[in-house]
A and B are shown apart, each in its own frame.
Chain A
Amino acid sequence: MSKRHSAEDVELNVTAMLDMAFQLLAFFILTFRPPPGEAQIFLKLPPAQPVAGMGTERAGSDESKNPKDVKTTKSVVVNLLDRDSGSVTDVQIGIPSVSMKPVPYMDLEKELRVYFKAKEDNDAGQKGGQGDYEQVVINASPTLRWEEVMKVVDMCTKFTTGKGDKLPAVSLSAAGPDPGG
């Protein structure tokens, strides 16, 4: 291993650099945290507007010159109610102040399909059918657990009507103020 040194032969002492490199390595290993596997549901949520039924005139259309019309959004409302249990106990589908149909929570998806099928059939029989709706509002009790609401949001975002149309917009609203201070 002996070696003859010449004037040009320079050897760097890399030990100090190695020490520093190991310290950096230790820092990066200790702070390394793989990103959690997360997904998301994208929603466009404008501020709440007065809700109108699907049979009323569309806001901003030519017919809206009628003074009775106010700026409303044609909506189907899904009411999720709990009895302070945090879980859904009662579900209603429909248009507030017109007709709200109580449905079992387990059959919510099936009932939504039945509801939209009946609506399509009804609109097909009318002249210039007014079957367009602009949003589905999930109106949930403020004491309901977030997990339960997300299940319904998830169901509505992947829901397709009999024609194969997706629901155009899903909106959220609470049936009361947040009880938390």
Chain B
Amino acid sequence: MSGSVPGGGVKSEPNLTPILDMVFQLITFFMLVINFKSAELDLTLQLPVLGSAKPLPDDAKLKLLVLNVQICTKCPHSGCDALATLRRVTEADTKKVKSYQLVCERGHETDHPQGAITNGKTCLTVYGRLLCKESRSKDFPSIEEYLRSEADLSLMSATPPLTRDEVIKEGKELLDTVVIRADSGCRFGAVNFVIVECQKQGYRRFALKTGQVEVKTGP
């Protein structure tokens, strides 16, 4: 394919095989490390930081139900009736909180200098959807309805399959672990409401998520 071309020049084609090899290796690496599970985590939450909490062991084969608990309020943007949650704006290098914003489901951003939502509603964030105590539409079921549907899936996947009566009346427990990821500024009543709703559905095992203390290295 390479050689002299009309006009006297030399046609040169680089050998693309090594670069293709390298690109495929990079693709393989990213495919292996990609973690789709992080989609269910709401990374805007600031978890309480404690020293003694332990990371999840690598060999743990736990079935997890991740619940992101926070407080939401009505969007202050005029004419918008969506719900908004608090977001911290941090400095890129020091990670210090610069300011607070209310960000609603439609993307409106409003400064919120108070830094905390007072008299807000308890809500769960599920793949970007905000679920409240009351159902808002078919796509936004209430917290209770959402937990019941998740519990039904757990009942069916249990070996042997369990029925709701066995869980509610006979006190059998679901083996799934409920992971509570609650914002550190959230009030306890909101978290306790979610825990009690989970208990009503038969969940008994809970993992309270915390941020890890940063380990300082060097002098």
Contact = CB atoms under 8 A, between A and B. Distances in A.
Interface string A150-161: 110110011000
Q: Bin chain A's interface residue count.
A: 35 or more
B27 A28 contact: yes
A40 B53 contact: yes
A14 B23 CA distance: 12
Given A39-B53, A41-B207, A28 B189 contact: no
B207 A149 contact: no
Interface of chain A, main secondary structure: mixed
A178 B190 contact: yes
Interface stretch (B85-93, B97-105, B145-153, B178-186): B178-186
B195 interface: yes
Nearest to A149: B188
A147 B53 contact: no
Nearest to A5: B1
B160 to A, nearest CB: 22
Nearest to A141: B188
28 contacts: A1-B3, A1-B12, A24-B27, A25-B27, A28-B31, A33-B35, A35-B35, A36-B38, A39-B53, A39-B56, A39-B210, A39-B212, A40-B54, A40-B55, A40-B207, A40-B209, A46-B199, A142-B192, A145-B185, A147-B184, A149-B188, A149-B191, A154-B50, A154-B52, A178-B187, A178-B190, A179-B189, A180-B187
Given A40-B56, A153-B208, A28 B182 contact: no
Interface stretch (A61-69, A91-99, A120-128, A169-177): A169-177
A18 B13 CA distance: 14
Interface of A: 1-3, 11, 14-15, 17-18, 21-22, 24-25, 28-29, 31-33, 35-48, 86, 140-151, 153-154, 157-158, 172-174, 176-181
Nearest to B211: A38
B208 A145 contact: no
A29 B30 CA distance: 7
Contacts of B199: 45-47
A96 B116 CA distance: 33
